[in-house]
Structure 1
Amino acid sequence: MPAIPDVFAPAKLGPVILRNRIIKAATFEARTPDALVTEDLITYHRLPAAGGVGMTTVAYCAVSPGGRTAGNQIWMRPEAVPGLRRLTEAVHAEGAAVSAQIGHAGPVADARSNKAAALAPVRFFNPIAMRFARKATRDDIDEVIAAHANAARLAIDAGFDAVEIHLGHNYLASSFLSPLINRRDDEFGGSLENRAKVARALVLAVRGAVEKDGAGRIAVTAKLNMADGVRGGITVEEALTTAKWLQDDGGLDALELTAGSSLVNPMYLFRGDAPVREFAAAFTPPVRWGLRLTGRRFLRHYPYRDTYLLREARLFRSELSMPLILLGGITNRESMELAMAEGFEFVAMARALLAEPDLVNRIKAEAGGSAVRSACIHCNRCMPTIYTRTRCVVTGAPDTC
């Protein structure tokens, strides 16, 4: 039997060496009011870098203006590169690597806020934006594929160590994968092979751009839904088939396994308390009234437990040879070491680091034991803060210089 790796030892991710196997997962920061990097955003990523993570992930670097979930998110363009370079340099100065999550929000995009048309496999109504996403044409799909390649090139220019392609949460690629959303009858609809064409093309386009402009300098990962948690949506069986195709295509250095739908069941990813009242308060009428009345159907309650995505992820680990990143309920040394023992190469953390940016250093400093516990209580009241400025409302963790 191979030795179980030390989660705190250096590890290879594609061409990049991370100082440990712990990644800060992408969580929208809400610190870019002009869709450009701010000192506030730099601090948001510098703190967990100083706190010990191997790599931090800059969330939702959209590949186009219409690919954002809201108009204040970064979209990858030359004007964004100088600020992104300041961010990568700040993270590198703390000894960590940094990844850019690139993607297109598809039906999750807020066309009203973006002042740009949203795209979906079919015409789709977004109740948050109170707008319809239009059915993507073949030209639209080709443009999105090209935009992903361009975003990867800009990430290389900005000094990123990796890019993470967003194939989850019913964003554009994931919505094409979903049999519930994708009701097309052309070459991109019907069979799973057709529905997976967009996701596979995005990965290969990014890989092509990286091999041409950043060979040997930047890793390529993707975030893929194992399941939507919705009847008629992406199932574990179909997701595993898609993951095998992605592995065979050879475009990825690692795959991060996720779950849930930003459109219809976000709590399937987050688990813990469902903050309906706080979410409703973040919106104006009529969305606020709708959330108060029907929020429990949208924000369903799933009890929290450590490593809560491990059961499904084991199926992927047993069938795939490529490196995998375990997400969901990684909060302490036990959960990290369990992931290593189960054969996962990396772990990803989000809310625990929002509550305590220095949690990784605290865990590492504890000699051989497991007494360190995360301050995160899984109340999920951090989630509605994405509409103002993402933060932990419980610990009041330091988040400014």
Structure 2
Amino acid sequence: MAPDVFAPARLGPVTLRNRTIKAATFEGRTPDGQVTDALVDYHLAVARGGLGLTTVAYLAVAPEGRTHREQIVVGPATQAGLARLADAVHATGAKIAGQVGHAGPVANGRSNGVHALSASRMPSPLSMQLVRSASEADLTRTTRAYVDTARTLVGAGFDVLELHMAHSYLVSSFLAPGLNRRKDRWGGSLENRSRLARQVARAVKDEVGDEVAVTAKVSVSDGFRGGVSTDESLETTALLEADGHLDALQLSGGSSLMNPMYLFRGEAPVAEFAASMPLPVRLGMRTPVGRRFLKEYAFQEAYFWDKALRFRERLALPLTLLGGINRLETMERAMAHGFDFVAMGRALLREPDLVDQLAAGRRTGGACIHCNRCMPTIYSGTRCVVLDPA
């Protein structure tokens, strides 16, 4: 019998009140890199709306690991604010996760004031700088930073740590053969390219043990030539499962650097994105190359379904299904096919109380139309512009 999506469930050592998760989407509410009342309110809205677990995005392990300077770097200077956020969410009965990561080549080095890192040297379309190839010292330092971040978040009261291993961020850049051209022990074979992912997972789990759940966001496919393929991701996640350092995987896809719409699907808000960008980027987006960056994919609910089923067939780890989930029928189908949790993003942005409405039988689906005009608002406070045209 399939589990009830609205019944309590275990995620590693943590019990969630139900199987629904707010997917990590940058909130745009930390202009000074600190927790604000607006960020607390953002997560309180979905927590009060019945969600099982809300995920704070994006929590950087190092200054050069931010996508841009407005993001939180986890450390002593931000711990008190993070603890205040966790306490507020816990008061509603929900649990809180922190998406922990290093943006790698997706980071804007000019905004951050420090050059970005990647598996291999490459030009950055974001900063118009060269992204540095991470050295052995960089990788040692970064792995240590993951551990320190994990310890800080545990001290702040977080329940789940989601390690970001997708979207062409640092770990993902090592996994993608087109971005990783290294000739050392970090490049070449899949075993070498997956070394950083496995090292980070092991180091974090060794530090926190069963104090919190440790999960990872992984790609079912990056959606570009030279990116992480489904076949290779299946092999990488099998290695991660065999290592035994993760409590669950969240199945995502696409590349923030090369093909972001592969993750979101639906309409591509080219004009709105261009309007939110600095002038050089705005002009670049008007070129044929810029327009191709935001490819348009037809929206279909649970659009990672077919690829995600391959992971369900291969792995025993608990899996979270993600990808435009909007309806109760889809959630129940996910449970019936062996998925353990469902993650939502845009649907909850439109209706923070959607989970309560579905659980009470007042609704069978959400109102999100997947126009994606919410995407450019990450620079001014992520929101549904259908509800708030301003």
TM-score normalised over the length of structure 2: 0.98
RMSD: 1.0
In the other structure, the counterpart of 1:394 is 386
In the other structure, the counterpart of 1:302 is 297
CA contact (8 A) 1:221 1:253 kept: yes
- 1:273 and 1:75 map into 2 onto residues whose CA distance is 32
Give, in angstroms, the shift of residue 132 of structure 1.
1.6
Give, in angstroms, the shift of residue 77 of structure 1.
0.8
Give, in angstroms, the shift of residue 329 of structure 1.
1.8
In the other structure, the counterpart of 2:276 is 282
In the other structure, the counterpart of 1:347 is 342
Secondary structure, aligned partner of 1:343 = coil
- 1:359 and 1:112 map into 2 onto residues whose CA distance is 39
- 1:131 and 1:283 map into 2 onto residues whose CA distance is 17
- 2:273 and 2:130 map into 1 onto residues whose CA distance is 22
Q: 1:395 to 1:375 in 2, by over 3 A?
A: farther
Secondary structure, aligned partner of 1:42 = helix
- 2:123 and 2:152 map into 1 onto residues whose CA distance is 32
Amino acid at match of 1:331: N
Give, in angstroms, the shift of residue 374 of structure 1.
1.2
In the other structure, the counterpart of 1:24 is 22
CA contact (8 A) 1:9 1:21 kept: yes
Unaligned runs of 5+ in 1: none
Runs of 4+ aligned structure 1 residues displaced above 4 Å come to: none
In the other structure, the counterpart of 1:314 is 309
CA contact (8 A) 1:81 1:158 kept: yes
- 1:373 and 1:328 map into 2 onto residues whose CA distance is 15
- 1:362 and 1:293 map into 2 onto residues whose CA distance is 44
- 1:338 and 1:88 map into 2 onto residues whose CA distance is 31
Q: 1:219 aligns with which of 185, 189, 213?
A: 213
Q: 1:383 aligns with which of 369, 375, 382?
A: 375
Give, in angstroms, the shift of residue 302 of structure 1.
0.6
CA contact (8 A) 2:213 2:247 kept: yes
Give, in angstroms, the shift of residue 80 of structure 1.
0.5
Secondary structure, aligned partner of 1:170 = coil
Does residue 91 (structure 1) correspond to residue 89 (structure 2)? The answer is yes
- 1:112 and 1:88 map into 2 onto residues whose CA distance is 31
Q: 1:47 aligns with which of 34, 45, 48?
A: 45
Q: 2:204 aligns with which of 195, 206, 226?
A: 206
CA contact (8 A) 1:355 1:396 kept: no
CA contact (8 A) 2:69 2:112 kept: yes
CA contact (8 A) 1:375 1:395 kept: no
In the other structure, the counterpart of 1:180 is 178
Deviates more, 1:226-235 or 1:318-327: 226-235
Amino acid at match of 1:237: D
Q: 1:191-249, CA deviations, whole angstroms, 9 ceiling, x for partnerless residues?
A: 111000011111111101112xxx3x310000001111011221100000000000001
CA contact (8 A) 1:49 1:96 kept: yes
- How does 1:319-330 map onto structure 2 within 5 Å? 319-330=314-325
- 1:239 and 1:284 map into 2 onto residues whose CA distance is 35
Percent sequence identity over aligned pairs = 55
Q: 1:2-53, CA deviations, whole angstroms, 9 ceiling, x for partnerless residues?
A: x100000000000000000000000001100110100000001010000011
Give, in angstroms, the shift of residue 82 of structure 1.
0.5
Amino acid at match of 2:198: R
Secondary structure, aligned partner of 2:286 = helix
The total of aligned residue pairs comes to: 388
CA contact (8 A) 2:115 2:129 kept: no
Q: 1:360 aligns with which of 355, 362, 370?
A: 355
- How does 1:129-208 map onto structure 2 within 5 Å? 129-208=127-206
- 1:301 and 1:105 map into 2 onto residues whose CA distance is 24
Give, in angstroms, the shift of residue 354 of structure 1.
0.5
- 1:223 and 1:50 map into 2 onto residues whose CA distance is 25
- 2:34 and 2:130 map into 1 onto residues whose CA distance is 26
Q: 1:121-169, CA deviations, whole angstroms, 9 ceiling, x for partnerless residues?
A: 1112111222221111001001111100110000001000010000000
- 2:258 and 2:115 map into 1 onto residues whose CA distance is 21
TM-score normalised over the length of structure 1: 0.95
In the other structure, the counterpart of 1:37 is 35
CA contact (8 A) 1:32 1:72 kept: yes
Amino acid at match of 1:302: Y
- 1:363 and 1:134 map into 2 onto residues whose CA distance is 47
Q: 1:296-349, CA deviations, whole angstroms, 9 ceiling, x for partnerless residues?
A: 310111111111111000000000001000000211101100110110000000
